[in-house]
Amino acid sequence: MTITPPALSVFETLESEVRSYCRGWPAVFDRAQGARLTDEDGHSYLDFFAGAGSLNYGHNNPVLKRALIDYIERDGITHGLDMATTAKRAFLETFQNVVLRPRDLPYKVMFPGPTGTNAVESALKLARKVKGRESVVSFTNAFHGMSLGSLAVTGNAFKRAGAGIPLVHGTPMPFDNYFDGQVPDFLWFERLLEDQGSGLNHPAAVIVETVQGEGGINVARAEWLRALQDLCHRQDMLLIVDDIQMGCGRTGGFFSFEEAGITPDIVTLSKSISGYGLPMSLCLFKPELDVWEPGEHNGTFRGNNPAFVTAAAALDAYWSDGQMEKQTLARGEQVEQTMLAICGEHETARFRGRGLVWGLEFEDPARASAVCARAFQLGLLLETSGPQSEVVKLLPPLTITPEELDEGLRTLARAVRETA
Amino acid sequence: MTITPPALSVFETLESEVRSYCRGWPAVFDRAQGARLTDEDGHSYLDFFAGAGSLNYGHNNPVLKRALIDYIERDGITHGLDMATTAKRAFLETFQNVVLRPRDLPYKVMFPGPTGTNAVESALKLARKVKGRESVVSFTNAFHGMSLGSLAVTGNAFKRAGAGIPLVHGTPMPFDNYFDGQVPDFLWFERLLEDQGSGLNHPAAVIVETVQGEGGINVARAEWLRALQDLCHRQDMLLIVDDIQMGCGRTGGFFSFEEAGITPDIVTLSKSISGYGLPMSLCLFKPELDVWEPGEHNGTFRGNNPAFVTAAAALDAYWSDGQMEKQTLARGEQVEQTMLAICGEHETARFRGRGLVWGLEFEDPARASAVCARAFQLGLLLETSGPQSEVVKLLPPLTITPEELDEGLRTLARAVRETA
Amino acid sequence: MTITPPALSVFETLESEVRSYCRGWPAVFDRAQGARLTDEDGHSYLDFFAGAGSLNYGHNNPVLKRALIDYIERDGITHGLDMATTAKRAFLETFQNVVLRPRDLPYKVMFPGPTGTNAVESALKLARKVKGRESVVSFTNAFHGMSLGSLAVTGNAFKRAGAGIPLVHGTPMPFDNYFDGQVPDFLWFERLLEDQGSGLNHPAAVIVETVQGEGGINVARAEWLRALQDLCHRQDMLLIVDDIQMGCGRTGGFFSFEEAGITPDIVTLSKSISGYGLPMSLCLFKPELDVWEPGEHNGTFRGNNPAFVTAAAALDAYWSDGQMEKQTLARGEQVEQTMLAICGEHETARFRGRGLVWGLEFEDPARASAVCARAFQLGLLLETSGPQSEVVKLLPPLTITPEELDEGLRTLARAVRETA
Amino acid sequence: MTITPPALSVFETLESEVRSYCRGWPAVFDRAQGARLTDEDGHSYLDFFAGAGSLNYGHNNPVLKRALIDYIERDGITHGLDMATTAKRAFLETFQNVVLRPRDLPYKVMFPGPTGTNAVESALKLARKVKGRESVVSFTNAFHGMSLGSLAVTGNAFKRAGAGIPLVHGTPMPFDNYFDGQVPDFLWFERLLEDQGSGLNHPAAVIVETVQGEGGINVARAEWLRALQDLCHRQDMLLIVDDIQMGCGRTGGFFSFEEAGITPDIVTLSKSISGYGLPMSLCLFKPELDVWEPGEHNGTFRGNNPAFVTAAAALDAYWSDGQMEKQTLARGEQVEQTMLAICGEHETARFRGRGLVWGLEFEDPARASAVCARAFQLGLLLETSGPQSEVVKLLPPLTITPEELDEGLRTLARAVRETA
């Protein structure tokens, strides 16, 4: 397949220089279905990117699409702030019945605004209010969002510098395996907490991703997460799991922390929660933490009701039984086989992952970008992650068929070979 | 009409205490069309609230609805980050042709994430980057959003306290008429800027609403805005107009600052930009300020393509000629007549407004809440604003008919009488 | 008198560029007595500067000198931290008997380290601890010190910029007469405090100088200070008077706030408290504010016992009766006469002052520096102050004789004439 | 010897609760000579505390005393700000000839105000100005002072909490041997610096004590200091050695870092620099860092000329040859022998030290306080240090005789035995 780079005129002349994805993927996309996008010239692309994790059920999933169109057709409430609506009630009941009760999770549900960073900002506010302390610990290579509160607990130096003010009130600690097993887990963190002379401002909370997506597909072990929860309990800190990218089934279970058997104090969800790529996010927390005053945090689009409709439909369709989790783990094994093969062939590559999130790291960071560029030419959408963009990140829709997955993996293997 | 308060069970048991609107309006809303909402019991409500300014063209506006359903039906891209799409191109071209060119505005367009606070955060980042300074001046009773960057330039003490950290890098200055004309405009601000011993950290930018919505419908005069622009130019500060609530025609012209004849350096838009209540926001700025690196600010839902579709449709339908502006000003005069009459009858009430945003202030703040509560019983949705919730805020859809407007105004007058 | 500029070799080659006074007064001083200094070439200089207010009793005052030498001779404790010593006890008893009791002031006494900025830092810490809030209000053109806590409440932009970090947690308000009487006192400050939407972080305390020395000899009226105290009481803020430069008799009474009849919650003293130019400072506060834990604030040189000895001797010698206050006011009148004459002759000059602190302001800031430079050539030490160094500052020792004062004033008048 | 606790009346009634040393040593001290203090009841105390390191040459050292009295007698300048004086010139020349030149150190000399924290504040300002970054790295259990800039790089949680504002812009790293050799030096620090996703704000500088006095007599190895210097060079950070307590010969050489063969970019000195316990401090830096503007940092008592006189006399008397260093090392060996013996007898004790600074740590922190309390009863002044006051700190004057040292060590050993 050859692709003629389109004239991106209005994007180049009118849109800000801040745009980024359109630079790596010089096509004008027009339609999408399931795991495939089509550009305006009719070229088709297999999607191993899934809206950065926002399209776990594929593009324009027919089940959700039906529910969405029906809702719009019947003039359901579109914009509802935090008014009670029938769509919101349906979502809340479904979320309770399908997600919370079966997992014995006692969470209260907050709609903090429809983006991930809204959810993180609300989680940090709540933790600080409950504990009466300012400091929050995050981890090396964490990504939590671009508004100032979230950015202060994000690792990336380039994004942090964009703040234009010194980002404070956050302190980084080493993520799992940051020293390749050389150093006992939490040695540094725990010493600082116990030593009254350490200079660490005692944190209100710890915020963590179970798998760091933007940070390079760094997978925390279950025992590390359990030890972190223990440390939080012993040291009177709240544990916040940011499950924005890894929740909604990406790693297998609905929440990525289920496998570790932990119960975070606060959980943030966004990206695939609406299931259809519509903006929506949630902040969940233990009931005893629900010390909010009415309206103490708010946001104009926190009641994006069409998203509640697709969200409820997605939960009903995919999470009423254990089928989705089983399928994701099976697809993950399919990926792992290819990864083993690629790394067998290419000594400078390493891989890691869980469920349907995988990373292929190259010693030479430029190689990862080259692989993604070649994959695009071959009709496969792949992006890089990691502090030096040294990791090729695989994030296909969970609903991808084994055949599509195989096709994409073969394209990936070819792109790796052809960039050697 | 009598309304049976519904059992709000799942909202009360599962949703966080942070919810607010549903407390003042104890109904479960189900459908909406134009200026009317209907609850699940079939009661109808006239809407003088318009999604806090997000529904300027009414609920489920049929023109936009058609465009939206067509787009979904044909599997258009739903979630696009900042990839180039046909829907995005159509929006950009329409925005350029219908909004920017006719007004001779040279702005670059940024999609900073789909909520107002995302747009404000990006505006502040950009201003700080361009000027290399941290401090930003805002105004008394300003409201710019709930994430930490925006909250630092917001006035409300209750919302600020929710941050859990000291909010710094922002300094408030008196909004227009803060001292009822007793003090020359900008006397304090200008002195501080000129005096090398004043202790004011020289600001990168000034952020202002032309009409403060949440702050109590405080209307800045055109000459005050012009003087502010002059001051910014003389003192090397960028002028940011936050037009999230007052833009998209709320005050008459598309931008609320048009009447004053100023050209802000940076403009934020959100709320009614999608036209359909779908999450979307823009940050506009002069081309010479476009110093962003690719990806320096981003956000998962910055490419909410269904919103681009309704946004383009709304611009086409309502802004291709001067009709909408004329109509809004006419409707505004209709409101003003009622306001005059109400304030003639009630000595403790004062009013102010522009276009189709009006505030009715009561000496006793409890009265404003009582008026809104009574209005709800009478089938009219109205909310309060101002630091003590002392102002009844009128924000009907711009597309409201003269008859509906009249009906609502009569209900308002009755609610005022009945709470005397 | 002609003065040969000496070769300042080691100062120029070894000492940092940060040095400043030695640039304006290019002499190497060797000895000093009373109101006169002598340089190594034998030139004599009349001192209208008094160690920036640290030498209210003149250089090497014989009464204090005797006490100091006796103490050193008998091997009294030199360095005592906060150990109990006989010299410290003598000082505390004298301070209580001569200063606090006669004025009915209930203060506890803290030795916070021997410099003014140590005292200010401790005052701010205490206020924040007592009130549990971070923010402190200071005034335009305030000067409180150069360590980060004090610098954050200091106005001078050049000195603030030296911090290298954004200075926050402080907000400036207009000092008395900042708008030449155009605006009612505290209009802005009080509105911000009362308006829940103002954006002002509610302050723990207000810190003020009764006469701003570095800020340009700005004299607060007694009624303004009383109104400030009232405002602090009404708004639950502590009132801190920084009396480092204006205390110890500079304005007449021992404390500069006595005339206004106010009782600040916290008072800082330094500069002339030791009487001999030796480093010493105090922080005084109402007993109910004494919530310090032992050692919560400390400093190596907080027990500079030789300074306690001269301090006690100075209090005994000069403050056992009302003589000193009367004399200072008389000398002040002598200055005022000359000021009137000078300003009569020179239309571009204005003056202000109290007790023995006076400022002569010139429309053209360069003129003030020129006057000081010419005065130096004529054997008179004078420095400038104010945000643009536009004010010639008169700060002679309180013990200056009428003849010396007259001599200096004549020299000043000549320097003004000769720089016209 | 039995000691009657004196009535501390005025200290208890008038002095603030913040006082601390006088609580542990309930005596009223009156005179002192060499290594001995005498209280007003005539009891004598051997001094293993030396003004917290400010009296390295003993109390009222006769050589310095003579110079000081002569200077006062002849009416030398007492208070000089940064005017050029003959006393300042003499000090600068002596410092250059005796200290800087023989060690081939190129430093410029700044007088930042007479206390240690003034010096640290100036060092941090300069580093931030030079590098244009806000963040500074300090070490676990560091102590650098009590004003806000210095406190932000200090470890002690109790002292930090006293600030009343969140202390930011500083990040702690593990001091040498923080993990008992389990972890390679700088593993964590270096990884954070190299990883663009670590979340560490790149530091302007690193501030370190070669031996942490307040932190518990933690001795950095020479190779650790050299590796730290290397890291600073590689990562474009300035190296600041805070030599306030360990400089002026405490560890043997004049500067404590000489042994490691490093040349810090910035050095702070205070405590024993005047030699007589008089307030004085210096900030030294490489000439290329001297980017100060005149007066950009200042302080009223930065020209404490009597201190310059004793400082010059001390340098002349003790540092013109290598005698002092040799003697200190010999005395240190004497201490070490006793330490070995004590720790041989008491299994729960450990010791560490260099030159004439030693720490004796007990497993049970209460034991250290008990030892100091018993020592006081036996006529020996000793204080504790460390985050839990678990270390008995030995800091005798460098001029102590072998006999006095032996006497004190025997008393210490007895106090340890009697508290077992």
pLDDT in tens, D308-327: 999 999 999 999 999 999 99
pLDDT single digits (tens) D183-223: 999 999 999 999 999 999 999 999 999 999 999 999 999 99
Structure-token pair, residue B83? 């990839």
Q: Is the pLDDT of residue C291 over 80?
A: yes
Torsion B12-B13-B15-B18 (CA) sign: positive
Among the partner-chain residues A60, A113, A145, the one whose CB lies closest to the CB of B75 is A60
Tokens 């020299």, residue? C411
The answer to whether the CB atoms of D165 and B166 lie below 8 A apart is: yes
At residue D289, what is the residue type? L
Q: For D33-63, write each residue's pLDDT tens digit.
A: 999 999 999 999 999 999 999 999 999 999 9
pLDDT digits (tens, 9 = 90+) for D109-144: 999 999 999 999 999 999 999 999 999 999 999 999
Cβ–Cβ under 8 Å, residues A304 and A88 = no
User: How far apart are the CA of D127 and the nearest CA of chain A, in angstroms?
Assistant: 16
Parallel, antiparallel, or unpaired: how do β-strands C380-381 and C44-47 relate? Answer: parallel
Which chain A residues are within 8 Å of D390, Cβ to Cβ? none
**pLDDT tens-digit readout, D363-394:** 999 999 999 999 999 999 999 999 999 999 99
Residue type, B248: C
Interchain contact, A141 vs D168, CB within 8 Å: no
User: Which residues of chain D neighbour C386 with C-beta distances below 8 Å?
Assistant: none
Distance of alpha carbon B112 from alpha carbon B121, whole angstroms: 9
Cβ distance of A165 and C165 shorter than 8 Å: no
Contact assignment for B166 to C169 by CB distance below 8 Å: yes
Indicate the average pLDDT of chain D. 96
> Using 50, 70 and 90 to split pLDDT, how confident is the model at C8?
low
Determine the distance from the C-alpha atom of residue B324 to the mean position of all C-alpha atoms in its chain, rounded to a whole number.
Answer: 18
Give the pLDDT confidence of C126-167 residue by residue, as tens digits: 999 999 999 999 999 999 999 999 999 999 999 999 999 999
Mention every residue, 6+ apart, whose C-beta is less than 8 A from residue B214. Answer: B141, B143, B156, B245, B385
Encoding tokens for residue C407?
């001599």
Task: Give A-chain residues touching B278 at CB under 8 angstroms.
Answer: 78-79, 304, 306
CA nearest A155 in D: which residue?
D199
The CA distance from B51 to the nearest CA of chain A, in Å, is 6
Share of chain A above pLDDT 90, in %: 97
DSSP H stretches of helix in C54-115: 62-73, 86-94
**Distance between CA atoms of C399 and C50, rounded to whole angstroms?**
11
CB contacts under 8 A, A 368-387 vs C, are none
pLDDT of residue B6: 52
Within an 8 Å CB–CB cutoff, is residue D410 touching chain C?
A: no
What are residue B131's phi and psi, to 5 degrees?
-95, -15
pLDDT of the residue at D2: 53
Q: Which residue has the tokens 């933690």?
A: D218
Sheet with A357-362: strands ordered across:
A349-354, A357-362, A391-394, A383-385
Which subunits have 3 or more CB–CB pairs within 8 Å of chain C? A, B, D
Q: Which amino acid is at C44?
A: S
Banded model confidence at residue B10, pLDDT cuts 50, 70, 90: very high
Mean pLDDT of D233-260: 98
Coil, helix or strand at residue B34: strand
CB nearest to C300's CB, from D96, D149, D270:
D270
User: For chains C and D, what is the number of CB pairs under 8 angstroms?
Assistant: 360
**SS3 of B285, please?**
strand
Whether residue D33 contacts residue D63, with contact meaning beta carbons closer than 8 Å, is answered with: no
Does the pLDDT at position C419 exceed 70? yes
Question: Quick one: which of D244, A144, D237, C376 has its CA closest to B147?
Answer: A144
**pLDDT value at position C5?**
53
Query: What integer is the mean pLDDT of D75-98?
Result: 98
Angle between helices C305-319 and C62-73 (to 10 degrees): 150
CA distance to D99, D102, D315, D324, D325, per residue, from D321 (Å) = 10, 10, 10, 8, 9
Residues of chain A with pLDDT under 50: 1
> Contact D60/C80, CB-based, under 8 Å?
no
Mean pLDDT, chain B, whole residue set: 96
The b-or-e profile of B50-59 (16+ CB within 10 A means b, else e) is bbbbbbbbbb
Would you place residue D6 in the very low, low, confident or very high pLDDT band (cuts 50, 70, 90)? low
Of C172, C188, C195, the CB nearest to B198: C172
| Four-residue CA torsion sign, C89, C95, C100, C101 | positive
Q: Which residues of B touch A28 (CB under 8 A)?
A: 84-86, 89
Q: What is the pLDDT at residue D250?
A: 98
Alpha-helical segments (H) within C78-235: 86-94, 116-131, 148-151, 157-161, 187-194, 222-234
D215 to chain A, any CB pair closer than 8 A? The answer is yes
CA–CA dist B266, A312 (Å, integer) = 39
Using an 8 Å CB-CB cutoff, list chain C residues near D53.
300
Tell me the C-alpha distance between C25 and C19, whole Å.
12
B3-39 burial, b for 16+ CB within 10 Å, e for fewer?
eeeeebebbeebbbbbbbbbebbbbbbbbbebbbbbb
Q: Does B181 touch chain D (CB under 8 A)?
A: no
- Residue range B161-178: average pLDDT? 96
Quick check: C3 pLDDT over 90?
Answer: no
Q: How many Cβ atoms are within 10 Å of D315's Cβ, its own excluded? A: 20
Q: Does C165 touch chain A (CB under 8 A)?
A: yes
Q: What is the pLDDT of residue B354?
A: 97
> Does pLDDT of C6 surpass 70?
no
- State how far the alpha carbon of B235 is from the alpha carbons of A99, B305, D349, in Å: 56, 40, 65
Q: Where are the alpha helices (DSSP H) in B61-103?
A: 62-73, 86-94
Say if the ipTM goes beyond 0.95.
yes
Question: D45-48 — which CB contacts under 8 Å span 24+ positions?
Answer: D45/D376, D45/D379, D45/D380, D45/D381, D46/D379, D46/D380, D46/D381, D46/D404, D46/D407, D46/D408, D46/D411, D47/D381, D47/D396, D47/D397, D48/D375, D48/D380, D48/D381, D48/D382, D48/D394, D48/D395, D48/D396, D48/D408, D48/D412
Strand segments (E) across A306-410: 349-354, 357-362, 380-381, 383-385, 391-394
- What pLDDT is attached to residue A9? 83
* Secondary structure of residue D36 in the 3-state scheme: strand
pLDDT at D182 exceeding the cut of 90:
no
Question: Whole-prediction pTM value?
Answer: 0.96
